[in-house]
Amino acid sequence: MKLLLLVISIGLCSISFCQDTCFVTIKYGENPDAGKYAHVNGIRMYYETYGDPANQPLLLIHGNGGYIYAERCQIEHFKDKYYVIIAESRFHGKTENGSELLTYDLMAKDYNSLLDFLKIDSVYIIGQSDGGIIGLLLAMNYPKKVKKLVTTAPNLRADTTALPEWYLELDINDLKDVENRIAQGDKSAGLVRLKAQISLMVNYPNISNNELAKIKSPVLIMAGDGDIIKLEHILDIYQNIPKAQLFIMPGATHFMLREEYSLFNQIAERFLDNPFKRPTTRELLLK
């Protein structure tokens, strides 16, 4: 979600119980041995790959304002078991902006095109925040591409059913500030990107509950109990996906994949490595 909230989260980690960020020796996102560009959907998209190409492919998708290094704790954990693919989304990092309006559907199309470019027919996906939204859209619109999906703190709508009012107001005010700076003559590339990123969160996504029923792949929905996404909205997503599991992490925020990376990775790996199950207490009691 928001860059400001990421800064706040990092600051709070120093005075709370969240883990120190994972230790890595590779500068993920700046690794010339792993980084390449793909010409997809009208843009040059930067991506890196790690692990053995013979292993099950795992696509990691970062959140709004993010970049490859933000997923370092997941790359480090999963690269020995999976063939990890991670890119920087349109309007992010080293990837080009392109000429089209930034939407989640467009970004999902980019990632689908990246998989085609890499000649990969299906993947596991772990997506965080906006990456989780893109993961849901990939599962809906390109169902053959998604074998399993871990979607972390996604939202279907940009309204008070999904997000608190104070946060929505913060986004709108930030967008106005950026637009004013551009109107006053600041046309810097970073500001243009920031406008697109904030506009994305203000205006999108627009996914109905009924659309979730189109998802045929197993899905794990994850969120922190202190998340920015309302927990009733997370529950709504869970209840409308046919083959879904739900994990709410205690004492965790929107940034739990870094703050609590060890538990996050453990739960995601448990889901990815095992056949999908959705047992009920009723079934057990009536055996």
CB atoms within 10 A of CB 123: 23
Consecutive sets of 10 residues in the chain, 287 residues long: mean pLDDT of each? 39 41 92 97 98 98 96 97 98 97 98 98 98 98 98 98 97 96 93 96 96 97 98 98 98 95 98 94 89
Q: Specify whether the CB–CB gap between 129 and 152 falls below 8 A.
A: yes
pLDDT at 20: 56
Domain ranges (residues) in the chain: 3-274
Distance CA 214, CA 146 (A): 12
Of the CATH numbers 3.30.1330.40, 3.40.50.1820, 3.10.150.10, 3.20.20.450, which one belongs to the domain with range 3-274? Answer: 3.40.50.1820
Q: Specify whether the CB–CB gap between 190 and 215 falls below 8 A.
A: no
Tokens of 252: 């965790």
Q: Spell out the residues 6+ positions from residue 7 whose beta carbon is closer than 8 angstroms to its own.
A: none
pLDDT at 110: 98
Task: Please give the backbone phi and psi of residue 205, each rounded to the nearest 5 degrees, phi first.
Answer: -85, 175
Tokens of 68: 């490859």
pLDDT at 21: 74
Distance CA 156, CA 171 (A): 16
pLDDT at 5: 42
pLDDT at 172: 97
**Which pTM value belongs to this model?**
0.92
